[in-house]
Every structure is written in C-alpha cells, then in structure tokens.
Amino acid sequence: MSNRQLPTASAVEMAARQREISISEFFLKNRHLLGFDTPAKALLTAVKEAVDNAIDACEEARIFPEIYVEVRHRHGHIGVVVEDNGPGIVESQIARIFGKLLYGSKFHKLSQSRGQQGMGISAAGMYGQLSVGKPLHILSRVAGDELATELYVSIDTARNRPDIHKKKHVAWDHPHGTRVEMEMEGRPQKGPHSVEVYLKQTAIANPHVTITCRDPQGKRTCYARSIDELPPLPKEIKPHPHGIELGRLIQMLSNTGCHTLLKFLVDEFSSVGNKTASAIIAEAGRRLSNRSYPRHIARSQATALHRAIQNSRIPAPRTDCIVPIGEQQLLKGLHSEIEADFYTVTTRPAAAYRGNPFQVEVGLAYGRPGDFRVYVDESGHMHNKDIHDKSAAVDLIAAKNEPARLLRFANRVPLLYQQSSCAITRAVIQTNWRGYGLNQPKGTLPVAPMAILVHVASVWVPYTSESKEAIEPYPEILKEIKLGLQKCGRELARHLRRNLQLRREYDKRAYIEKYLPHIGIALQEILALGDEERDATVTQLDDTLHKTRAT
C-alpha cells in the first residue's frame, strides 16, 4: 500500500515546490552567460555595455558621439564611469532602463543597433550589486531641461524591478547627456582583453566617435574622430517572408489588423508588392484568394500558404536597414589606429540569412612598419625607409612568426572573447592563405605580421550567447566573410609580389652600384677621361640605371 501512496504524496509535494523564477535571479545565478564570470571579464563587459548604449543613443539623436570612460580603483573595488553627450533619458524611463533586465527599445524592431536585448547595462548593475553591494549611480539631462536627474538604482532581483534609492535634480555642466557610474569587483587587464584595446578597436570601426579614456593610473588617452560625417540612420524593416516559420505565420495571420490576405502580405512583410503577393496566393491554392480574411484562414490553408512562400521567388530584403562602416571610413579607421605597410578593405554587397539582411566588411593591415624598408622615391631612386617603430601603436598587429591578429566586429562593436567559436574565426581558418603567399599551418590562422578585420552588420546578429562575444556560424554568413577575405587576400598577394620584385630589384641594383666605380675607372683608362669626367659619367650611368628600371 505504502508503495502505491508514495507517488501521490510526491506529486502533491512536488507541486508545492514549483515556483516562478525571475529573469534576474536566473541571470544572477548564471552571470557567466552575460559575460560577468571573472572580475577581469566583468570589468570589460560593463564598460562595453555602457559605451555601446552611449554611442547608440547619440547616433539615434544624430549627435557626434563624445564618450568619456574612466576606470579607477576605489575602496578595494573598481569604479567605472561612462559619460556621453547623447540626448539624455527621460526621467520616467531611467530606473527601468538601468534596473530591469529585458527592457529596451531595440529588441522589437528589425534594424541595426549595437544593443539588441535590453539586458547589458542592467546586468552590469546587477553584477555590481552582487559583487560589492553598490547600486548604479546615474546622472542624465535632456536638452532644454534646466537640471539633470540624479538617482541610484539597483535591481529587485526576485521581481526583476528597479529599486530607486535617491532621486534628486542637480546642476550638471553638460547641456544634455547621460553619465553612469558603477562599482564592482573587477581587475583591469593588459593586452588583448584590456579596456584600452577595446576602445582602440571601437575607434577603428567608429571613426565618427571621439573617446577619451582615463585609466587607473590616471593616464588619459584620446581617440579623436577622423571623419566629419555621421553614419546614416539604419531604417527599420519588416521581416522577409523567407525567414518566417509556419507557426509564426499562423500567429501573424491571427493577430493582423489587415482585412485581406493581399494587404497582409504586402503590409507585414518586406520585399512583397501586390504582384508578388498575388503570385504567392495563387500558388497556395486551397480556395485562398487575395480577398481572404486573414483571421479566418484555417491551419491547412496556412500550411499551403507557407509552402507557397517558400517556393516563390521573392526579391532579396531591402538593405538600407544596414549601415556598413564603408570602405573609405574603414580605411581611415585602420590608418589612424594601426601602423602598417599595406592596407586593403572591402565592403561586400548585402545578403540575408533566414530572412535577416546582413553585410560583411573585411580589412587587412599587413607588415609592421620597418619590416620591409625598401621604397622608390619620385626620382626613381631606391631607399631604405627610416621609420621609428612606435611600439605602442603596433599592439593590434601580429609579430612576424605569430598567427595574424583577428579584429572581430558585429554592428561596429568589437568582440573580444570566445574567438574560437566565432563564424569569423572559422571563415579565416577555412580561407586558403597560402594561395596569397602566406604561411598557414593546417586548420589554423595564417602566420603573418597582419591584422585581419571583419565586420558583420545585421538587423539581428545571431550571437552564440547573451554576452555577445561570438557569431553563430550560419552558412550564409560564413560564405560572405570568405568572399570578403578572398578579395582582400588577392590584393595582399599583389602587394607581396610587388614587394618581392622590389626587393630583388634593390639587391640587383645594389650589386651593380657596387661595381659602378670600377666601371668608371675602366672607362677612364679606355677613354682617357679626367677624374671629373669619370665621376660625371658614373653619376650619369647611375641615374640612367635608376630611371630605366623605375616603373
């Protein structure tokens, strides 16, 4: 008997233990998913989330972003300040933006932005709260307002709701903008995972942004903007029909305000005009017509409609929802932050994965300055370059016998962790760099004094985790990255061949030059020239030699 009763008791007991889990509790316990696993990574993630938000806000308000970042030691913890000249935040929204996970303006629309989840900055606050028990300190002023709003906000994790601690209105010397200050357990890093490298890479992909940074030692670095144009504002788009699953289609049909199927297809999707819509409906059959009432469409009809969409030729999605950095701008960014012998960039045409438009850009910076010194001047004379090796400036480029450095970007944001699981890394490894004259051990990155920059811009970047550190390797994305790498690789190969020729030429010429004086002496004897005539002849010969060879 007791055996029989046990399961009942269990079912009731187990029911009593069922509880709702708040999203904040979930991510507090799983904070490594958001990039807050170690103090070193947490610091960088916090800076990144705040800077991303700041730049997004400025761009949306069409303001040239000016960002100030400060990291300092404070009572044994780390203090981080990020300040922007953006539009400011309306008072009623401040607490929720900083004190609630999954709250934001970017999740529900299809258009390119740095943030997309509405989690990052609140998560940084939650980490500060967990690690040192301090709330976020916010200051924000909307242009036109006399005073700024100042408040301290933490998260009530059991309810995923903001707790406001103090709120007052204070004078602030910024006409508009937002300032967030966080305290947390953190560890400033040197090298590839440092705030410095993150900001430098941000400057490369965002040449319209000015960033000033003050590090824990009080050293100030400024990355000034190098172009005078804001990137255009990405347009919002509707989903593309080819990316819609059956279940989603059924849901959209039952939620639409449109009164005819034709209007539904035209209004709620991108790339569908009346003609395409009519063709889809005709293809679907099943007694569906242009005037069918969407909400009355049966399951079997929806299934037929879904199949018809998959089988129809529909134009590719519009691409003004994506704003690439642009070849000129990218080149400027590379030039101002990486010193190299050779640069090449390419912006691929837009493509789509699962109905989401995306666009790939690739840049290469090759050769530490000074590695190859020969150059030809205007008169055709060859010289060795005399360049100071600015060691601080070559951080981003690999040494001669190291694997090339990868600079990965998604929607203009540098990706600093999880390199090995990223689509970009995979595409670089799958590219045959030997064909371009580089050394590449099997299954690895090419070994060369080179930085490879890849930028993937999309209305929805498929990150492999909430911490947005790597891109899921969808086949369409891999393909586009590889095409971009190949284009740049060919340019690089041309440069390397030219350099090789130049070097050979230089060696040959040096050889001839070595014997020119002897030829002079021989001529002097044969033709009985004076010393001056001999020298003039040698100079003339030298000159002729350079001019004929220089092309």
Tell me which residues in 114-143 interact with a copy of itself (CB under 8 A). Answer: 117-118, 128-134, 142-143
Contact 199, 220 (CB under 8 A): no
92 binds a copy of itself per the rule CB under 8 A: yes
Least CB distance to a copy of itself at residue 23 (A): 5
Shortest Å, Cβ 422 to a copy of itself: 12
Question: Applying CB under 8 A, which part among 55-63, 289-297, 312-320, 364-372 lies near a copy of itself?
Answer: 55-63
* Of 8-16, 66-74, 186-194, 277-285: span binding a copy of itself (CB under 8 A): 8-16
Task: Tell which residue, 345, 349, 351, has the closest CA to residue 475.
Answer: 351
Type of residue found at 98: F
Confirm if 167 and 149 have CB atoms less than 8 A apart. yes
Q: Which of 73, 93, 349, 439 binds a copy of itself (CB under 8 A)?
A: 93
CB of 7 to a copy of itself, least distance (A): 4
Return the H-helix or E-strand segment holding 146.
none
Q: Does 19 bind a copy of itself (CB under 8 A)?
A: yes
Nearer to a copy of itself, 93 or 544 (CB): 93
Nearer to a copy of itself, 93 or 430 (CB): 93
Query: Which of 474, 458, 271 has its CA nearest to residue 358?
Result: 458
Complex with a copy of itself: residue 86 or 234, whichever CB lies closer: 86
Cα angle: 55, vertex 60, 62; to 5 degrees: 95
C-alpha–C-alpha distance, residues 504 and 498, integer Å? 10
Beta strands in 348-471 (DSSP E): 351-353, 356-366, 374-376, 382-384, 405-410, 413-415, 450-458
CB 271 within 8 A of CB 280: no
The stretch near a copy of itself (CB under 8 A) out of 162-170, 268-276, 455-463, 526-534 is: 455-463
Q: For residue 23, what are its two tokens?
A: 């999203």
Using the minimum distance from each CB to a copy of itself, give the nearer residue, 102 or 521. 102
What token pair was written down for 95?
């607490």
Q: Which of residues 151-180 bind a copy of itself (CB under 8 A)?
A: 175-176
Residue-by-residue DSSP string for 249-292: HHHHHHH---SSHHHHHHHHSSS--HHHHHHHHHHH-TT--TT-
Question: Rounded CA gap, 505 and 155, in Å?
Answer: 68
Which of 35, 79, 99, 104 is close enough to bind a copy of itself by CB under 8 A? 104
Q: Is 185 in the site for a copy of itself (CB under 8 A)?
A: yes
- Residues 468 to 527 in contact with a copy of itself, rule: CB under 8 A: 472
Q: How far is the CB of 78 from a copy of itself (least distance, A)?
A: 13
Choosing from 43, 50, 57, 309, the residue that interacts with a copy of itself (CB under 8 A) is 57
In the complex, least distance from residue 395 CB atom to a copy of itself, rounded to whole angstroms: 26
CB of 496 to a copy of itself, least distance (A): 29
Site for a copy of itself in 413-442 (CB under 8 A): 420-421
Lookup: tokens for 93 = 């929204």
| Minimum distance from residue 345 beta carbon to a copy of itself (Å) | 30
Residue ranges in 214-273 that form contacts with a copy of itself under rule CB under 8 A: 245-251
Nearer to a copy of itself, 251 or 540 (CB): 251
Q: What is the DSSP letter of 134?
A: -
> Nearer Cβ to a copy of itself, position 368 or 426?
426
The least distance separating a copy of itself from the CB of residue 465, rounded to whole angstroms, comes to 6
What is the secondary structure of 293-315 as a DSSP string?
-GGG--HHHHHHHHHHHHHS--P
541 near a copy of itself, judged by CB under 8 A = no
Measured CA to CA, the distance from residue 202 to residue 221 in angstroms comes to: 13
Q: CB of 68: closest distance to a copy of itself in angstroms?
A: 17
For a copy of itself, which residue of 62, 259, 503, 508 counts as binding (CB under 8 A)? Answer: 62
Please tell me whether residue 462 binds a copy of itself under the rule CB under 8 A.
yes
Closest to a copy of itself by CB, 35 or 363: 35
Is the CA virtual torsion 530, 535, 538, 539 positive or negative? negative
Distance, in Å, from the CA atom of 37 to the CA atom of 340, rounded to the nearest integer, reads 35
Pick the closest to residue 134 from 178, 214, 77, 89 (CA basis).
Answer: 77
Give which of 419, 491, 405, 498 is closest to 448, Cα–Cα: 405
Which range of residues in 1-9, 365-373, 407-415, 430-438 is near a copy of itself by CB under 8 A?
A: 1-9
- Cβ closer to a copy of itself: 71 or 459? 459
466 lies in the site for a copy of itself, by CB under 8 A: yes
